[in-house]
Chains A and B, each alone.
Chain A
């Protein structure tokens, strides 16, 4: 996260001051981009020699324009970076019509020389040389001979260069300067003890005397230059040099300051000279300042000072407070970069008049978002508070605690942890109060609860009186928010102050607290925490005791800007539009689908000619997904008053047919009509059909009665039509009707299933294997019910493989085998047959006699088959009249005691099935029939 955040910061701001991974990543990015954009002209430009006389050449890239005259932008990089750090911005600006000049600063990248920290005599002079270079280019627009139309843009190290170039060279027509310093001495030795209350939002007029040394930042700064030196070629004093590419004088002074923790007069003078501050009074170029709240290196007070100077010279300027900075990435980077480009476009490219309206709001600030990681809410004001005639509005917030005591520990350890650079970028939001407010080393000054919410924009101030037993007092002030029991840091910033006091004498001091935007809800309290140590600063090693007293009310600079729905709102809208249109598309698709289906459903034709036939199945075909053709061209019908048996071995397609009849599965071809109405899934006409298909199905937690009620309720029909008591009588469950179904036996569920099928007395009753699980008496009891049910003019269809059962129950039969109907008709007709005669023999007949007689009979004329069915029963198939067959049998010696024409259904069944299974008829292997017969015998044995 921190790598990513810093990468983004480096990409956008080109800073790279503390961002170690940035240069390599950026180099990679620039390689990727070079393919589709113009390639820069790379040259080595000679500039002023080093103090020791060493010649210096700068590594310069120029993005040229192919035709016409164009304004030029000098693009400066951040500390520790190189010209490669700004490649993407260079491409952006080139696309906007600029000639772009980027260079590695002295002591950076491939350029020679040493780092002089923006010395007017070196780095700034170099930039002027580059302006001269630009003025000689044929593609650069000139305001006057030798005066190119030029803008300069940079962040951090480059930002200060931009301001200083504008302060030393009148040829600059526009400046964009981000997260940079106004006074470098003040940045490294900040002093928050001020002489007077500020007149601008983040203004700070420090008392004489440098503040404590910002040790951690200074070291980071120093180390990043060492790293930059190691990679570059500029190693005049080659080898492991502890000053790296720093100018030796600067290096020496820095090391000295690190050792003592105080600023030597030479260092203070040098840092002050290497700052925009001395030359700001001559800057007239329109200047855009971006400064970050998330910046413990160059605070908002630095930009405030620059803005004040610009207001004094009358230069057009705008200030934008970002939530990013050297500590964290901004949540509005894209907009900040865009605003910078717009500034240059207006004043440099389009030569906007100095008096014209600013191309961006004069002051933009963000208030913290409700949740971590979300972009800040942007607000704008028409002027920077306290400048250009705008008043600084303030509010007073009285304190509840006005005094406290603290000690500075001997050795300066342990030190409080408050402003840890980069902590915010890591997304760390844990309560840091325990490690900030070390016991005895801190004093907490709490305010009264806020009566109404306030947005504080700038630097709050308060007065306290400090009494110490040592002449050198260092304090660090930070602002916390107290809610209930929890204390949270508002911004990871501290305001350090260093006072010279007379021991024992109370000294009044005005503290300028860290400048930032603070959102303070009503009901919360503020806490100003004064600590004697701070880990990012150089702390004194000698102990002291400090008393704080007479703290005054806090003075809060407040502002109510117009809320901006910036480009982020546009990004937001893109996602909203995307999601919204996806949703709309889906809804339209759903609506269209629904309409199409509705139309299609209306188009199913009814068959008035079949209105009186309860069930007609025509040409049904069903092939399952695995290729198995379960039902193949099945046609049959059931008329009123009939009990139709659907017979067939397992796998014959009976259940599949029944499911298609009920619309549970769709047919590939053919149709089902119930009372003339076509049947498909959920057809209304199914309300006139009751069915039990492949076993019953009930809600296990409901009782039998509740199940029938729930089922009937699901049909939506009138309760009085259900005849639930009568149906329950069929089920004959006795007291079990009021027990949950899960306690039922298989037979009980089966009977309840039949009862459910009979609910509402349907005109067509379809029962699939109804006798499954029933005992013989129950089967016997069921038989007359079905018969008599059909006698009322209704129709019953029963599927079964129990042949005797079907024979006894049904009036008609449909025999299926391997998905086809092999025969159908009234049971009486099927079992009745002209060519078959059944001869009954007496008991205790002589078997040898019988078998001899059978052989004789087989030989008789016209007899095709003689079969001994049981010892007392012989079946004769012949094409002669029955009387002649009987005569022949008697002649053959059979003791015939009875003659009948009826076969058992089983014979019919086996006969038709074996013939259907014969090769060529169904097209199945021949042994199928044999095994089938075998299976049927097993069924019979059951």
Chain B
């Protein structure tokens, strides 16, 4: 009989009645950061996202090398930016950030934060987490924390990797910008860190919107796509002068203010505004997400 499935389990069971019953021995809180990290990090989408991020500077370097042969004729404003990118590590990483901050990082933030909950729902594993049991709020907190941490990692990785690739490809020259403002490495690195911190904060509203949509939908695509759509719509509305000054409050209105941090004499006013509004939206949508998820019936 011992080859029957289940025998080992039944052998392991002590009669329940004998134990003074079920003192559950917790060694950690439910859905600890570590266990959530393991759930998200092995995923194909995470690896792809970071792979893409790491490939971007290499693609840039490659295309610059390729383009050198054909284009020495005309120098428009856009080519000047790319000429500038090739003048050293600092410029290269800055151009990289400039290119990626508009869409790539937004997309990644929406992916990391928007996909976490609905993907569990779509695999039906969400209900098993909840009956493990993991408190609703705890589940959201873990998912959000790891999503935000992944976003942060992407935000840090982008310029750091850009500096490394740029340095190897174009040398370790400090920043020169077209307005004629040069920063030494000692000035540039803290400013870059500040700019990245600011970019990270401005990503939070989109992350929070994606997260909130994720608690409303079981389809990961709906959450990520919805958040990106919202971001695009807001960008369009932001173009309308008629909405001035109300558009200042839009998430994304100050999305380029990080460039202020890299001026020789930085003006942080816009960054302060941008960061505050970003936090307002991030907190608001995070609250909506918690409110929604705490009360919702899990039917997935």
Contact = CB atoms under 8 A, between A and B. Distances in A.
Interface of A: 4, 369-371, 374, 377, 430-431, 453, 481-486, 488, 519, 521-524, 572, 575-576, 578-580, 582-583, 586-587, 589-590, 593, 597, 640, 659, 662-666, 675, 681-684, 686-689, 691, 693-702, 710-711, 713-719, 721, 723, 725-727, 729-732, 756, 758, 761, 763, 781-782, 784-785, 788-789, 792-794
Contact of B8 (A691, A726, A788): A726
B63 interface: no
Contacts of A713: 32, 34-35, 38
Nearest first, the 6 A-B pairs at minimum CB distance are: A697-B124, A483-B180, A370-B263, A579-B276, A682-B135, A665-B297
B233 interface: no
Interface core residue of A430, A522, A523, A715 (most chain B CB under 10 Å): A715
Contact of A521 (B36, B127, B134, B181): B181
Contact of B178 (A488, A519, A666, A782): A488
B164 interface: no
Contacts of A698: 123-125
Contacts of B35: 710, 713-714, 716
A730 B9 contact: yes
A395 B167 CA distance: 38
Given A662-B131, A699-B123, A700-B123, A371 B30 contact: no
Nearest to A585: B280
A431 B180 CA distance: 13
Given A579-B249, A663-B131, A681-B130, A729 B43 contact: no
Interface in B10-65: 10-18, 21-22, 24-32, 34-36, 38-39, 42-44
Interface residues of B, number: 89
B217 interface: no
A697 B12 contact: no
Interface of B: 4-18, 21-22, 24-32, 34-36, 38-39, 42-44, 77, 80, 83-84, 87, 123-136, 138, 176-182, 241, 245, 248-249, 259-260, 263-267, 269-270, 272-273, 276-277, 279-280, 283-284, 287, 291, 294-295, 297-299
B9 A716 contact: no
A490 to B, nearest CB: 9
Given A664-B131, A666-B295, A681-B135, A781 B5 contact: yes
A761 B280 CA distance: 46
7 contacts: A580-B276, A593-B291, A689-B131, A697-B124, A711-B128, A726-B11, A729-B7
A713 B26 CA distance: 10
A528 to B, nearest CB: 15
Given A430-B77, A663-B130, A726-B12, A681 B123 contact: no
B182 A758 contact: no
Nearest to A727: B9
A654 to B, nearest CB: 15
B133 A687 contact: yes
A792 B267 contact: no
B130 A682 contact: yes
A217 to B, nearest CB: 29
Given A370-B264, A484-B87, A521-B182, A666 B13 contact: no
Contacts of B32: 713, 716
A792 B15 contact: yes
Contact of B9 (A377, A693, A729): A729
Given A484-B176, A659-B298, A371 B260 contact: yes
A594 to B, nearest CB: 9
Contacts of A701: 42-44
B27 A717 contact: yes
A488 B177 CA distance: 11
A730 B5 contact: yes
A374 B136 CA distance: 46
A683 B132 CA distance: 10
B6 A716 contact: no
A369 B263 CA distance: 9
Contacts of A666: 295, 297
A589 B36 CA distance: 28
Contacts, number: 245
B298 A682 contact: no
Given A572-B269, A700-B123, A718-B27, A789 B13 contact: yes
Interface core residue of B77, B178, B294 (most chain A CB under 10 Å): B178
Given A693-B127, A793-B16, A717 B133 contact: no
A634 B259 CA distance: 63
Given A721-B25, A763-B21, A682 B133 contact: yes
Contacts of B260: 370-371
A781 B4 contact: yes
A198 B193 CA distance: 45
Given A583-B280, A684-B133, A716 B27 contact: yes
A587 B42 contact: no
Given A686-B133, A696-B124, A697-B128, A583 B276 contact: yes
B118 to A, nearest CB: 13
Contacts of A727: 9
Contacts of A582: 280
A702 B132 contact: no
Given A484-B180, A593-B287, A756-B128, 12 more contacts: A371-B260, A521-B181, A572-B269, A586-B280, A684-B24, A687-B24, A687-B132, A702-B42, A714-B39, A730-B6, A732-B5, A793-B15
Contact of A785 (B10, B134, B181, B284): B10
B138 A481 contact: no
Nearest to A686: B133
Nearest to B127: A664
Contact of B136 (A483, A579, A681, A730): A681
Nearest to B32: A716
B297 to A, nearest CB: 4
Interface core residue of A521, A522, A659, A683 (most chain B CB under 10 Å): A521
Contact of B176 (A483, A686, A689, A784): A483
Nearest to B42: A701
Nearest to B295: A666
A686 B22 contact: no
B179 A716 contact: no
Nearest to A697: B124
B277 A579 contact: yes
A479 to B, nearest CB: 12
B275 to A, nearest CB: 9
Interface core residue of A481, A484, A640, A663 (most chain B CB under 10 Å): A484
B16 A794 contact: yes
Contacts of B130: 662-664, 681-682
A726 B18 CA distance: 21
A481 B180 contact: yes
Contact of B267 (A369, A688, A711): A369
A40 to B, nearest CB: 31
A464 B80 CA distance: 33
Contacts of B36: 714
